[in-house]
Every structure is written in structure tokens, then in C-alpha cells.
């Protein structure tokens, strides 16, 4: 049946079919991103007359990758989804990108979802002298709505309304409040900034070229619980970004709250006939293909001044399936030997498995740091590839 | 599914025939609004009231004129190429504006936008262009530079003279909406035509994607090179997509006639030189424009123009002549006089810093140019600048001698 289409995006899709593939194909000669690597003229020719039911086109998918050639060292994804169906309609392009980005994940592979926090072993005893804070985040998309690159104001507002209804019905440790970006008071804004909760209008061209900042700050907001340990961003880069965090090294507790909170929220959305976008091949469906699967980044801020200058630091991280960032998040530098260490994988392993890698890996690295402090060697501790 | 209107436009041969018959005027007749059919209507999921933007903190022409009723009427319409109202207004929704500076807040994605979304664009045009009503008024086009008089300024005050405008190629979508193939076609059509220029207009094209480091440095030193737009007014309208594909700069060997390809408009045409000979700058401007027009018509193309809106460009503020004629002029004493702004207002002139729009004046040197674009011809507007600048220089000379000045010419 004919569905409504979103009125923003690369319209002209039918008009441009008057031109040949060669005339429309983007110049990717200076590009270094997953999209540029995967997009051939053949694939472009095959997919360019297709649309998802909401009217999202191939040119919409790739615009951010055309506009942002990338970096010689950092390989960005270079494409986004506009709705759940994008991953189907444009699979000839997205499957190879997903495979390249997610360690060879095949189009026939199945993704395991495990949000049972009791399956996590340990995680409550990371040394707080080294592990300053612990955090787990993921994203969720609400089934039946188009995604941030594509949705109209009406759609985005409907998402906000449903999200706020669901979140404000939570109680107990999850009782909290929603702060819409466009109507928060100065005092509320100040408080959210000092809590490090407030998110800004995206400035990164990776996001703006994909249309995710349109109509800012309409229908965007932040919800958090009274104890400030569970936080949800509404309509930033995904419908929902869900964050559980606290000071210190009790990752187990952070993960428990994460799983319980997510499941409570999901129940409420299901009652409204709008569960989360999920399928057994790609797991949770999010805007950026890099966040498919669990969409989970579980990490700590940890003091590793000696280990971080060790020659084998990068190799240790790779073998542990972990990545490092500065304490400002992605694309920042570390300050005072404190690093943000988190899981590198998203798709092909479960939430429990990924958080387990963080817990075990960080524990090992703290022990290595202690050894180095005593002037001892750590070569025997270097693990095999996980 | 192309409307009959698009079919006519996409057949270049037919456009060529129309040009033989009567040039822009005949084709302009074709664009009379009753004859423009819109594209397929959008199927929308939400009613207009759920989609209407929140404009309470906004101060731009679009926000002042977009009522919920107009939004409801237009929100499911598309141009034949599929451009929508939401796309046209996106830049104004994303950029609330400034309490003191009123931006336009919307763009056109194609020529038909001005017809299909007339219910919004007409009041925006009226507000921006001092009451000009496209429904009832006609815009005069006059590129006969021989009519300009007194166009030689005192070079002790005027350091440089410049006239710029824009031109759009009929049948191809504008920068907010064009596809890569359309943009490349604009480049091809324009560069092909420019290669036919001769004499003092003969020159060369520098494509942004292919210029050498040396060429780039030279263009920077000449102050010719334009950058990828960073202003959110432009980026939110989609004008920087696919940068730098199909963008470039053409200039004549003497560096007095310059054309930007596929920046904010299909073409921006600039005539300039050091000193105060505005007459010669305007002569070259008119001659160059007419030559380029002749050359594209030979190949079956023409400029977007109609008798209600004049030359059709991306931003409604540039309709009509799209012309900004200006000088860099030293007015250090007048700059300190409290009547300066009022004098400029009376003369229908505006001041900018020497870096262009949104920059500050340095050393008492101002960029002075015409305020108006639509409703008066090119000759009239350049004459306004000539008369006005001559008056300003008069004022400066009087102030130098300690004499008093009046707020406007007698």
C-alpha cells in the first residue's frame, strides 16, 4: 500500500533518472570512507531508481559521505539510513559496508542480543583508584518512524511525544524528568551543563550533511532520573540515546541499571504498538551503520599514565577488542594519562559479551599499570587475541 | 512524470527556436503562472498543523510571512522537479536570524518555485523589495551602458569599482536542489559559452577540482578564489552539497571580468577594476553579459528571466537585476558623522566593510553599493550609485574644509 513520504531530502529522484549513471555518479577520487570504498557505478546504477516507502533514496544515503571525503587515517562510514527499510532496499551497498566495518560480518550472519545483566561475570570490583567512572550507552529507534536524517517536524514531534510519555511513566530508581531543549529555563540549562548532560546542536559536518540538525532544537530534549545515573537523549543522532553511568568502577551496577531501564522502556513502547527496531540479522537498527547490533559502547575513564606510553599499548587494546579515546569523547585527546577505554565491537556479539570484554580488559590493564609502577615487566601478561 | 512544462524545457532545440522568435521575452511568456503546473502532490503522514515550524524566536522574512494557513495550502505541493515548501524554508527554520538584521529565510530550488510557492514568495518579495508586487508590477531590464552619465569618480577617494550580478540557466535546477548531473551540465554549458569570448573578454576557466596549487595561490592573491560556503544560511539550504564538484572560476586575461560557476547561483558575473572608472566597469559588465547570453543561446539555452521578477536567482533578495554595484571609497570624516547612515538611506545606498557583507570598515574605507535590486533597471541602479557616491565625496570634501553638509542632495 502507498505510504506517506517525508518531504525533505534528495527529491528529484525521478527527474535525475533522465541523466546517465556516469553523469550522476559522485566523484570519489579523493575520498576515504566505507561508502566510497564500496560504491561502484554498477551498484549506483542498480539502486538509484529505488526508494524506501517513505521516499528515502540512494543519494540521501550517501550524501554525507560525498560531502565528507574523510581522513587518511580514520575511516568514517560515509552513509546513513533514513528509515528501517533503508537497510533492505539499499542492501547491495550497505551489506559490504557493514561487513567491512564490522569485522567481516556476512549478510547471512545472525546477531545475538543479551540484555540479561546477570550473565555478566564480576565487574563490581574495578579499582576506583584507577577507574574514575563507568558508563554504558546505546541507541534505540522506534519502529514505524523514520530516522533523524529524514524525518519531518511532525514525525520528530510524534517521536518526542511518545518517548516522553514512556519515560515519565517510569518510577522507582527510574523516576525522572524531561527537559525539552527549546523551553528549558536558564537555571535548568546551567544545571544540565554542570552535570555534563546537555548536548549541543551537532556541528560535525558528518551529521549536518546528513540532515540530522534540521529544525534544531525542535522536539529535542534530555530526560534523566532524579539520581542522575540514567539519562536519555531524544532526537539527537538517533531517536533515543540511552546512557547509564556513575562515578567509580562498579560497571556491574551500571550495566544492571542499563539493562533494567532499557527493558522497562521497551515494554512501554511495545504497549503503544511501537517497539524498537530490531531484526535477527542486524540487531538494533540505528541511523549509522557503525552502531548496528548492540549499538553499545561500554567504557570507563581510567588512569593509565604508564601503560599508555608502553610500546605495546595499542597492540594490547587491539587484542582485548577495546579502543581508546580522550576523556572528551570521540576525537579528543587524553588529559593527565586518563583515557576513555571502551569496546570496539558492536555487531556480531551480545551486550553481555561486549561489556564482559570491557570489564576483563580494564581489570587486566589496571594490573599492568600497577606492575609498571613497581618497575616490573608486563610481557607475560599480554593476552592472546580475543 | 514530467509535466508538459518540463518537457518543453528539457528540449533544448525548442528553447532555441523560442529564442529566435523573441529571446527571453517569449520564453518568459511561457512561465506565466497560470501555465505552470505543479508536480505530483506529496502524500503526507501528518496534518499541516503538526508540521508547521515553531517560528516564535525567528526574525526573517519567511517567518514573518509564513502563516499556518499559507503553510497548510502549500505544504503538499511540489514543483515539477519535486522541490517542496519544506525544502524552500529549511534555511529560515534552521537560522532564526538576528534581532537587528533581517535575512530572507528561504530560497528557490528551481524557477518554478517562484510560481508554485507564490503565496509565500510574493509577500516575502514584497517585504524585501520595498512593496514590489510581482502580481501587478513589471520589472524593467536595461543593460544599455551608454545611458550612464558621470560615471568617473575622483580617484583620490574611490579606490576600486565593481558591478556584480547572477544568472541562472533555464531548465536546470538551482543550487539548493540541483543533482550532480544538473550541476555538471550548468558548468558545461557556461564554460563552453565562455570559451567563445574574444578580445578583452577572452579568458580561462579554473575548475575547483582540477586547479593546480600554483593556480590556486594565484587566484587567492588576486582575491578571486571562493571557498566552500560555511555560512549556515547557505549550508542549511543544501548549496554546499557535493563540494567542490562542478564548481570553478573563469576570468578574462586582464582580470577585469570574472565568473563564479555553481557557488550560490549557477553563475555570478563580476566586472571590476582599480580606480574610479565605473562607466568602463559597467560597459564591460553589459557587453560581457550580452555576449555570454548570445553564446548560450547559440547552443539552445537561455537565462531564467520573466517580466514580473526579472532575472531569477536562488535567493529572493537577488531578483530583478541581481545587481550590486559598488565602490571602495575613503570617507574617514563622513564615517564619524552621525548623519552618515541617514545620508546613505536617503541615497538608497548601503555600506559594508571592505571584506564584503558582514565585515567592518578598515581605515575609513567603505564598500558603498545600491540597496535595491528589483523594480528598477540596471542602468537606474548604477546611476543611483554614481550619483550617490559623487554626493558622498562632495560631503567628505566639504567636511575636509570644515564646511557643513546636508543629509541629502537638493
Q: pLDDT for B289-323, tens place per residue?
A: 999 999 999 999 999 999 999 999 999 999 999 99
Within 8 A of A11 by CB-CB distance, chain B residues are 78, 81-84, 87, 177
Report CA Rg, chain A.
21
- pLDDT greater than 60 at residue A128: yes
CA atoms within 13 A on the CB side of B187: 22
Dihedral-angle region of residue B199 (phi above 0 means left; psi in -120 to 50 means alpha; beta otherwise): left
- pLDDT greater than 80 at residue B27: no
- pLDDT greater than 80 at residue A3: no
The rounded distance, in Å, linking the Cα atoms of B309 and A378 is: 77
A-B Cβ pairs (cutoff 8 Å, strict): 108
For A309, other C-beta atoms within 10 Å of its C-beta total 10
Residue A335 pLDDT level (bands cut at 50, 70, 90): confident
Within 8 A of A6 by CB-CB distance, chain B residues are 45
* Mean pLDDT across B256-269: 97
pLDDT in tens, A70-82: 977 789 999 999 9
Q: Cβ–Cβ of B43/A157 closer than 8 Å?
A: no
- B-chain residue closest to A11, CA distance: B82
* Mean pLDDT across B270-292: 97
The rounded distance, in Å, linking the Cα atoms of B280 and B151 is: 8
CB proximity under 8 Å: A 313-352 to B: none
The rounded distance, in Å, linking the Cα atoms of A313 and A334 is: 14
Reported pTM: 0.90
Q: Answer yes or no: is B199 a known binding residue.
A: no
Within 8 A of B81 by CB-CB distance, chain A residues are 11-12, 15
Bridge partners of B276? Answer: none
Per-residue pLDDT, B138: 97
Residue A43 pLDDT level (bands cut at 50, 70, 90): very high
- Computed over every residue of chain A, the mean pLDDT equals 93
CA atoms within 13 A on the CB side of A340: 15
Q: What is the full DSSP assignment across B324-335?
A: EEEEEEE-HHHH
What is residue B318's three-state secondary structure? helix
| CB-closest option in B87, B181, B184 to A8 | B87
What is residue B94's three-state secondary structure? helix
Q: Answer yes or no: is A164 a known binding residue.
A: no
- pLDDT greater than 60 at residue B5: no
Report the number of secondary-structure helices (H) and strands (E) in chain B.
16, 10
CB proximity under 8 Å: A 169-208 to B: 182, 208
Share of residues in chain B with pLDDT > 70 (%): 89
Buried b / exposed e along B347-360 (16+ C-beta atoms within 10 A): bbbbbbebeeeeee
Q: Answer yes or no: is B161 a known binding residue.
A: yes
pLDDT in tens, A209-241: 999 999 999 999 999 999 999 999 999 999 999
Minimal C-alpha gap between B300 and chain A (Å): 18
Selected for mutation to probe chain B from A15, A154, A274 (highest B CB count within 10 Å) is A15
Per-residue pLDDT, B2: 34
- pLDDT greater than 60 at residue B194: yes
Per-residue pLDDT, B357: 67
Q: What is the full DSSP assignment across B142-169?
A: ---GGG--S-B--TTTEEEEEEEEEE-B
Higher pLDDT, B353 or B361: B353
Per-residue pLDDT, B30: 40
Question: Per the structure block, which three cell numbers stand in for B408?
Answer: 541629502
Q: Cβ–Cβ of B82/A182 closer than 8 Å?
A: no
Q: Answer yes or no: is B314 a known binding residue.
A: no
Inter-residue contact B45 to A154 (CB < 8 Å) = yes
- A-chain residue closest to B76, CA distance: A7
- pLDDT greater than 60 at residue B18: no
Share of residues in chain A with pLDDT > 70 (%): 96
- pLDDT greater than 50 at residue B285: yes
Q: Answer yes or no: is B37 a known binding residue.
A: no
Q: CA–CA distance from B399 to each of A145, B77, B331 (Å)?
A: 67, 57, 10
| CB-closest option in B52, B90, B179 to A16 | B179
Q: Answer yes or no: is A275 a known binding residue.
A: no
Q: Locate all alpha helices (DSSP H) within A25-152, ordered by sequence.
A: 34-38, 41-47, 58-67, 86-89, 91-101
* Mean pLDDT across A304-314: 94
Per-residue pLDDT, A333: 73
Residue A107 pLDDT level (bands cut at 50, 70, 90): very high
| CB-closest option in A3, A7, A12 to B177 | A12
* Mean pLDDT across A19-29: 96
| CB-closest option in A8, A12, A19 to B90 | A8
- Please name the helix (run of DSSP H) or strand (run of DSSP E) that holds residue B250, with its range, or none: strand B248-252
Amino acid at each position: 500500500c502507498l505510504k506517506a513520504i517525508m518531504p525533505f531530502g534528495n527529491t528529484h529522484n525521478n527527474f535525475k533518472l533522465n541523466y546517465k549513471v556516469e553523469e550522476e555518479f559522485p566523484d570519489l577520487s579523493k575520498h576515504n570512507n566505507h561508502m566510497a570504498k564500496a560504491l561502484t557505478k554498477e551498484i549506483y546504477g542498480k539502486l538509484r531508481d529505488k526508494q524506501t516507502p517513505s521516499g528515502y533514496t540512494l543519494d540521501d544515503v550517501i550524501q554525507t559521505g560525498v560531502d565528507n571525503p574523510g581522513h587518511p587515517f580514520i575511516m568514517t562510514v560515509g552513509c546513513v539510513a533514513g528509515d528501517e527499510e533503508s537497510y533492505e532496499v539499499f542492501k547491495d551497498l550497505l551489506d559490504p559496508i557493514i561487513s567491512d566495518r564490522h569485522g567481516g560480518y556476512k549478510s547471512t550472519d545472525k546477531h545475538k542480543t543479551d540484555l540479561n545483566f546477570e550473565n555478566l561475570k564480576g565487574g563490581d570490583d574495578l579499582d576506583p583508584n584507577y577507574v574514575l567512572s563507568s558508563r554504558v550507552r546505546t541507541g534505540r529507534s522506534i519502529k514505524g518512524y523514520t530516522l533523524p536524517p529524514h524525518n519531518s517536524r511532525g514525525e520528530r514531534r510524534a517521536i518526542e511525544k511518545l518517548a516522553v510519555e514512556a519515560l515519565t511513566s517510569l518510577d522507582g530508581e527510574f523516576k525522572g524528568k524531561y527537559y525539552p531543549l527549546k523551553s528549558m529555563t536558564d537555571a535548568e540549562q546551567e544545571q544540565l551543563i554542570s552535570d555534563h548532560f546537555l548536548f549541543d546542536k551537532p556541528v560535525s559536518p558528518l551529521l549536518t550533511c546528513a540532515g540530522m540538525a534540521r529544525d534544531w532544537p525542535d522536539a529535542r530534549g534530555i530526560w534523566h532520573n532524579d539520581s542522575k545515573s540514567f539519562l536519555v537523549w531524544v532526537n539527537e543522532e538517533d531517536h533515543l540515546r540511552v546512557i547509564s553511568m556513575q562515578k567509580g568502577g562498579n560497571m556491574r551496577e551500571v550495566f544492571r541499571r542499563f539493562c533494567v531501564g532499557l527493558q522497562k522502556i521497551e515494554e512501554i513502547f511495545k504497549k503503544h504498538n511501537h517497539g524498537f527496531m530490531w531484526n535477527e540479522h542486524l540487531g538494533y537498527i540505528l541511523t549509522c551503520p557503525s552502531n548496528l547490533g548492540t549499538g553499545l559502547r561500554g567504557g570507563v575513564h581510567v588512569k593509565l599514565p604508564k601503560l599508555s606510553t608502553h610500546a605495546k599499548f595499542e597492540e594490547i587494546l587491539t587484542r582485548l577488542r577495546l579502543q581508546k579515546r580522550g576523556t572528551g569523547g570521540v576525537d579528543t585527546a587524553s588529559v593527565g594519562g586518563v583515557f576513555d577505554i571502551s569496546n570496539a565491537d558492536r555487531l556480531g556479539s551480545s551486550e553481555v559479551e561486549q561489556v564482559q570484554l570491557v570489564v576483563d580488559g580494564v581489570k587486566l590493564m589496571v594490573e599492568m599499570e600497577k606492575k609498571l609502577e613497581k618497575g616490573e615487566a608486563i610481557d607475560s601478561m599480554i593476552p592472546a587475541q580475543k | 512524470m514530467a509535466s508538459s512544462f518540463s518537457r518543453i524545457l528539457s528540449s533544448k532545440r525548442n528553447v532555441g527556436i523560442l529564442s529566435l522568435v523573441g529571446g527571453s521575452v517569449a520564453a518568459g511568456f511561457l512561465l506565466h503562472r497560470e501555465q505552470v503546473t505543479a508536480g505530483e502532490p506529496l502524500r503526507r503522514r501528518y496534518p499541516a498543523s503538526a508540521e508547521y515550524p515553531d517560528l516564535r524566536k525567528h526574525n526573517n522574512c519567511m517567518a514573518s510571512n509564513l502563516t499556518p494557513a499559507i503553510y497548510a495550502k502549500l505544504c503538499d505541493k511540489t514543483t515539477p522537479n519535486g522541490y517542496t515548501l519544506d525544502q524552500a524554508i529549511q534555511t529560515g527554520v534552521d537560522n532564526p536570524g538576528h534581532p537587528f538584521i533581517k535575512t530572507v529565510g528561504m530560497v528557490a530550488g528551481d524557477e518554478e518555485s517562484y510560481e508554485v510557492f507564490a503565496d509565500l514568495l510574493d509577500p516575502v518579495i514584497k517585504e524585501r523589495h520595498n512593496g514590489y508586487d510581482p502580481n501587478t508590477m513589471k520589472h524593467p531590464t536595461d543593460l544599455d551602458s551608454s545611458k550612464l552619465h558621470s560615471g568617473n569618480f575622483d580617484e583620490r577617494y574611490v579606490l576600486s569599482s565593481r558591478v556584480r550580478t547572477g544568472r541562472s540557466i533555464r531548465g536546470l535546477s538551482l543550487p539548493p536542489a540541483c543533482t550532480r548531473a544538473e550541476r555538471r551540465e550548468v558548468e558545461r554549458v557556461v564554460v563552453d559559452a565562455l570559451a567563445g569570448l574574444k578580445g578583452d573578454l577572452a579568458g580561462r576557466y579554473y575548475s575547483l577540482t582540477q586547479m593546480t596549487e600554483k593556480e590556486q595561490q594565484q587566484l587567492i592573491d588576486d582575491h578571486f578564489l571562493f571557498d566552500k560556503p560555511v555560512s549556515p544560511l547557505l549550508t542549511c539550504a543544501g548549496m554546499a552539497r557535493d563540494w567542490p564538484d562542478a564548481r570553478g572560476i573563469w576570468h578574462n586575461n586582464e582580470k577585469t571580468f570574472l565568473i563564479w560557476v555553481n557557488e550560490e547561483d549557477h553563475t555570478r558575473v563580476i566586472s571590476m577594476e582599480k580606480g574610479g572608472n565605473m562607466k568602463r566597469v559597467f560597459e564591460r559588465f553589459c557587453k560581457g553579459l550580452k555576449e555570454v547570453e548570445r553564446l548560450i543561446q547559440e547552443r539552445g539555452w537561455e537565462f531564467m528571466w520573466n517580466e514580473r521578477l526579472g532575472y531569477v536567482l536562488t535567493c529572493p533578495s537577488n531578483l530583478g537585476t541581481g545587481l550590486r554595484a559598488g565602490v571602495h571609497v575613503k570617507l574617514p570624516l563622513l564615517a564619524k558623522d552621525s548623519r552618515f547612515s541617514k545620508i546613505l538611506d536617503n541615497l538608497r545606498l548601503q555600506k559594508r566593510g571592505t571584506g564584503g557583507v558582514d565585515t567592518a570598515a578598515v581605515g575609513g574605507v567603505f564598500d558603498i553599493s545600491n540597496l535595491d535590486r528589483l523594480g528598477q533597471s540596471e542602468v537606474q541602479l548604477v546611476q543611483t550609485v554614481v550619483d550617490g557616491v559623487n554626493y558622498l565625496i562632495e560631503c567628505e570634501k566639504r567636511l575636509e574644509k570644515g564646511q557643513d553638509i546636508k543629509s541629502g542632495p537638493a
